Amino acid sequence: MENEQSYVHDKITVNVGNTERILSAGLGAFLVFNNIGKPSLGKLLTGGYLLYRGATGHCPLYSLAGKDNLPDPVKNINIRTSFLVNKSRDEVYTFWRKLENMPLFMNHLETVKEMDSTRSHWKAKGPAGIGSIEWDAEIVKDEPGRLLGWSSLPGADVENAGKIDFHDAGLNQTKLDVVISYRPPLRNISAGIARLFTPGFEKMIRSDVENFKTYIENIDMPTKETEPGMMH
């Protein structure tokens, strides 16, 4: 049975369980190996850190936090942001409601495919560029021009939910209030490893949401003869 209590061995505090050590070593080797030919200091440092955790069983971050045992389960991450867009409320809502438009401004998304009027399939890049993650989502609240709410369906790699409120903010201006809640990927593998990726994952999602303003203000909105998803 895995011993989850920390102990001292050769002056190194072992505070990482056996399962997490194996996973750390595997992910670390993957990052270092895939860094060959495509140098990335961030991936190299992360890979080296994970290899160190796997080889020694010691996590400096746990020690700095004063944690003698493995960390608590990963908690939900909540992102809240508000911003103004120089487009009318109906234009902004119409663009966002066409979910297949999302990869146009969200760099972490690879594809979004609408399966019917409320359900869709999402595919995104994994944290630190490791593979991809997929999930199905469903629109749970839709008030045209005012509110859009969604939630992932059971079995999702990333459990998530969110809503967007659209408000008039002047002539051809819209204020968006965005709330997104999610649990980081890899949570079912190891809470400790998932925590390593949480800050970067949160920053990536927040940045992509705010990219929407730049994108929509610099495109021509569709006319009646143009399909909503076909932007130029």
> What are the tens digits of pLDDT across the range 177-196?
999 887 765 544 445 445 44
Say which range, 15-24, 121-130, 209-218, has the weakest mean pLDDT.
Answer: 15-24
Distance CA 221, CA 138 (A): 25
pTM value is: 0.60
Quote the tokens at residue 158: 């990333």
Domain 77-216 grouped into CATH 3.30.530.20:
yes
Q: % helix / strand / coil in the chain, to the nearest 5?
A: 35, 30, 35
pLDDT tens figures, 89-108: 999 999 999 999 999 998 88
Q: Name the residue with higher pLDDT: 38 or 140.
A: 140
The SS3 assignment for 139 reads strand
The residue ranges of every structural domain in the chain are 7-64, 77-216
pLDDT band at 154 (very low <50, low <70, confident <90, very high): confident
Please tell me the predicted confidence (pLDDT) of residue 65.
Answer: 64
Across the chain, the runs of DSSP E, i.e. the strands, are 7-9, 12-14, 77-85, 109-114, 119-125, 132-143, 147-152, 160-168, 174-182
Residue 182: phi and psi, rounded to 5, are -155, 160
Q: How confident is the model at residue 181, as a pLDDT?
A: 86
DSSP 196-224: HHHHHHHHHHHHHHHHHHHHHTTSPPP-T
